[in-house]
Amino acid sequence: MTKADIIEGVYEKVGFSKKESAEIVELVFDTLKETLERGDKIKISGFGNFQVRQKKARVGRNPQTGKEIEISARRVLTFRPSQVLKSALNGEAPPENHAEIDAREEENDENEDFDSEDMDSEEMDGEGAEGGKY
C-alpha cells in the first residue's frame, strides 16, 4: 500500500475531495514524523506503538571479508504491534476489552527492561536470542 492508496481510501470512505484527502493524509504523516523526530513515543490504540531508540556505537563485521568495522551510534525506529493487531493478523477473535488491553500494554511498556541496543529492526522477527518470544 502506498500513500496514494491511503489518500484514495480516505477520498472514497470520507467523501472529501481528493485534494482535501491528500492534505489530511499529509498532515497526519507530518505530525507523526515531527513527533518521532523529537524522540517522543506514538501510541495508537488498537494498532501499536512507534518509538525512537538510541543505539550505541559497536563493532561489526563485514560478512564478505570478515574485517571488523565500527557501526556508528544512531537512532532507530521500532514498532510494537498491539494485541488487537496481533489477533487480527492471526485470524483470532479480537480481545474483549480494547481499553483494558491497551492499559496493560502501556503498563508493560513502562515497566519493561527490554533493551534493543544491539538489535536492528530487520532483526526483530518476534523471537529473542534464546528463541523465545519477547
Cα separation, 105 vs 93, whole angstroms: 18
The two domains 1-38 and 44-112 share their CATH topology (first three levels equal): yes
Architecture field, domain 1-38: Irregular (4.10)
Q: For 10-32, how does the pLDDT look when each residue is reduced to its tens digit (9 = 90+)?
A: 999 998 999 999 999 999 999 99
Tell me the whole-structure pTM to 2 decimals. 0.64
Domain boundaries, the chain: 1-38, 44-112
Which helix (DSSP H) or strand (DSSP E) does residue 107 occupy? helix 98-111
Does domain 44-112 fall into CATH 4.10.520.10?
Answer: yes
pLDDT of residue 107: 67
Q: Is the pLDDT of residue 134 over 50?
A: no
Of the candidates 47, 46, 49, which has an alpha carbon nearest to the alpha carbon of residue 98? Answer: 46
Cβ neighbors of 61 (< 8 A, separation 6 or more) are: 67, 68, 69
Q: Give dist(CA 18, CA 127) in Å, integer.
A: 42
